[in-house]
Structure 1
Amino acid sequence: MTSPSAILASHPGAVPTPEGDPSPGVAWHYGDPLGEQRIATRRAAIVDRSDRAVIELSGDERLTWLHTVSTQHLTHLADRHSAENLSLDGNGRVEDHFVLTDIDGTTWVDTEADRGTALTDFLTKMVFWAKVTVAARPDMKVLTLLGPDVLTGPIAEAIGLPADAGLYQAGDLPELRHDDEPLGFWRVMPPLGERGETPVVDLVVPDADIREWWQLIVDAGAKPAGMWTYEALRVRAMRPRLHLDTDERTIPHEVDWIGGPEQGGAVHLDKGCYRGQETVARVANLGRPPRRLVLLHLDGSASYRPETGADVTAGGRKVGRVGTVIDHFEYGPIALALVKRNIPVDAELVIGDPEAPENSTSASIDPDLYTPDDQVPPGRAAVDRLRGRS
């Protein structure tokens, strides 16, 4: 059993994440999960995400080297800036999704709890002769601030966040005791919520200081919120999570991880020289991915509660798989799902066994977050022009 985080251990009334949850050992909620979500969208909340694995990359060639082994364009990443990144297998399927921040000559990487060792091992094996050192840093932890009040006022002042801080910018946290201890840093992440109205700021801090930072931010006005809150806002924003909303066949285009930091993406299309790049380029220029990520609204009256990996069917045939399933404070039960690209937005969907009502529930695609697939890829358009097609 995973040991509880320092924050969870200090809140005796908190409820830990369920058994088997991908965020082990942190709080699922603090007694009012739907109220915590509401506060996160309207004021400010703080979420313990200290389950995430943190890795340190040092050395003069860390960014140019990481550029060659991952999907993001990093050769010109400025100091005190972040980016999202992927590691793909040889067929272009997603193996790892991680966030990186370069600050003061060090690149900090954090990823899912169960992928920390695997990603550290992969990066270590890929160093070869590059001037890079890869080190797991279990002594560094992640906290996440949510809500409009985290960007201004007492909370921003407490973490040293400037008024002009933009997406993926980062900076040093203020000293706590003025004794030259590691300080940690803040970084601005893509907003969550229905229309991206909920700002997100991560803090990466030494484990020894996590309780002090937590209390400092709570005293500044943030309410403790569990992973339920973070996950509900993430799902509503259609931000996929590795191994929940992806499977062993997922390619980046299916879950909209395409784009550089300025687009909030993890795969830059103006670069090559990384494992799986051929698949990314082929889909971007000539074809379309076989599946797409959609937001589903579930029948709240059904007794059946789908789990991650459950089948999505239409007309009795399987058309996809369910990812994260969560209860949202405004929209009730919602889920992310990967479905076949040609499934129309008004399709009548069933999750579970369509022949057994007690083991299934109806679902519908959110039309406001559904983008029609009517654009011709640039490579295909060029081929059509050469062949005289309109």
Structure 2
Amino acid sequence: MSADSVQPARSPILSSTSGAVPTPDGDPSPGVAWHYGDPLGEQRAASRTASVVDRSDRGVIELAGPERLTWLHTISSQHVSDLPDRRSAENLSLDLNGRVEDHFVLTDVDEVTWLDTGAERSVPLHDFLAKMVFWAQVTPALRTDMTVLTLVGPQVRSGAIAELLDIPADADVYTAGNLPELHHDDEPLGFWRVMPPIGEGRTTPVVDLVVPRDDIPRWWKELTTAGAHPAGAWAFEALRVAAGRARLHLDTDERTIPHEAEWIGGPQEQGAVHLDKGCYRGQETVSRVANIGRAPRRLVLLHLDGSSDARPATGDPVSAGGRTVGRVGTVVDHFELGPIALALVKRSVPADADLIAGDPASGTAARIDGDRYISDDTVPAGRAAQDRLRGRS
């Protein structure tokens, strides 16, 4: 099975929802709505009330078998060997040098582990997992019949929407639960899960629904009837960028290690890399950076000059004084912050640096968001121990 053999189907929401505008050609979220006629208003609704976002471009993989979690634990970065039923986590697959190849969300429900990831990585991730089975009692299966809807906003955890989905008021991040029945047959019914919040200050709640693809129209109707406003991928991306949450292959490149994208931490820290677990591919780099070094780059939020009609593109350079110091990630217009972008920049770049995003001679002026910039001057534990052994203070 090749990486191009499965393409996300065009969502039925595009043809059934008034004003739906598809994502642009070449967008990493193909086949879904970019907006429904009012992109900034959709962001405002998602920040202040409740919205539903069609994310059916995401690919879903099923892991069945009694050793699914212990096996996954040995080949990925997160501690999942004892993940409880109806709990989720974020996880990475790294290469031998500790560079990020895949980022995915996993949820264990009723003795089945469900993984979902970006459209372009679902087949490669499935193929990697299938190759790594060996003698383990686990069966990976690409489930093109399952996909994702996402609820965003302060009202998704209360009132009619929470009642519809049967989400307990005390459900914390990464809690999951079975969805109520929409029909009575033997097909999978799907589940909900609480995800880390997004938006400014990371305060806007998020709940994912992993559902049968054929049930998208029915769930869309149920959720909008319960009060959720339709919102396109633009709205979700704007709130994600404002929160400083990286997206694979937009905000990362082929050299990215987990520390640079702020993916360090167990489920309790809402991370994707547990620092206290056994061996896995790429662990040496993770351990070395955590204990005796620093990541060469850091993820920052850039405020772009709104007076310019031009916008940098993902992958464009970030420069300071004519010297390249980083790369541009996701670029998006935010309903309150204006044009913003995520970027990976050299750790030595100060928070008050005057930057250019795009061509150094004609690009867009940019500044780092100081509220999200964390100055890390602490000495890693391993480096401190080395210094003591060498008689350094």
TM-score interval (norm. to shorter): over 0.9
Per-residue deviation, 1:322: 0.1
Unaligned segments of structure 2, at least 5 residues: 1-6
Per-residue deviation, 1:373: 2.1
Partner of 1:191: 197
Counterpart contact for 2:8–2:119, Cα < 8 Å: no
Per-residue deviation, 1:217: 0.6
For residue 381 of structure 2, what is the amino acid of its counterpart? P
For residue 166 of structure 2, what is the amino acid of its counterpart? G
The alignment status of 1:282 with 2:288, answered yes or no, reads yes
Q: Deviations for 1:253-306, whole angstroms, at most 9, x for unmatched residues?
A: 001100000101000000131100000000000000110000000001113211
2:238 pairs, out of 232, 241, 247, with 232
Per-residue deviation, 1:180: 4.3
- Equivalent residues, number: 387
| Mapping 1:102-251, distance limit 5 Å | 102-251=108-257
Counterpart contact for 2:32–2:55, Cα < 8 Å: yes
> Separation in 2 of the partners of 1:109 and 1:369?
30
The alignment status of 1:378 with 2:367, answered yes or no, reads no
> Separation in 1 of the partners of 2:382 and 2:326?
28
CA RMSD of aligned residues (A): 1.1
Per-residue deviation, 1:361: 0.8
Partner of 1:361: 364
Partner of 1:389: 392
> Separation in 2 of the partners of 1:104 and 1:178?
18
Per-residue deviation, 1:176: 1.3
Per-residue deviation, 1:208: 1.7
1:254 partner SS: helix
Q: Which runs of 4+ in 1 moved over 4 A?
A: none
The alignment status of 1:14 with 2:17, answered yes or no, reads no
2:365 partner SS: strand
For residue 376 of structure 1, what is the amino acid of its counterpart? V
> Separation in 1 of the partners of 2:143 and 2:12?
16
> Separation in 1 of the partners of 2:92 and 2:281?
10
Partner of 2:58: 52
2:304 pairs, out of 294, 298, 301, with 298
Per-residue deviation, 1:353: 2.0
Partner of 2:3: none
Per-residue deviation, 1:160: 1.1
Partner of 2:328: 322
1:8 partner SS: helix
Per-residue deviation, 1:12: 4.7
Per-residue deviation, 1:2: 6.4
Q: Deviations for 1:361-384, whole angstroms, at most 9, x for unmatched residues?
A: 100000000000211111001112
Unaligned segments of structure 1, at least 5 residues: none
1:216 partner SS: helix
Partner of 1:346: 352
| Mapping 1:84-99, distance limit 5 Å | 84-99=90-105
State, as a whole percentage, how many aligned pairs show the same letter: 71
Structure 1 stretch displaced more, 174-183 or 213-222: 174-183
> Separation in 1 of the partners of 2:14 and 2:270?
31
The alignment status of 1:77 with 2:52, answered yes or no, reads no
Per-residue deviation, 1:388: 2.8
> Separation in 1 of the partners of 2:177 and 2:8?
31
Counterpart contact for 2:8–2:56, Cα < 8 Å: no
**Measured at CA, do residues 3 and 77 of structure 1 come closer, stay the same or move farther in structure 2, by a change above 3 Å?**
closer
> Separation in 2 of the partners of 1:311 and 1:290?
16
> Separation in 1 of the partners of 2:188 and 2:13?
19
> Separation in 2 of the partners of 1:198 and 1:22?
23
Structure 1 stretch displaced more, 238-247 or 173-182: 173-182
> Separation in 1 of the partners of 2:216 and 2:311?
35
2:340 pairs, out of 334, 339, 352, with 334
> Separation in 1 of the partners of 2:246 and 2:34?
19
**TM-score scaled by length of structure 2:** 0.97
For residue 382 of structure 2, what is the amino acid of its counterpart? G
2:324 partner SS: strand
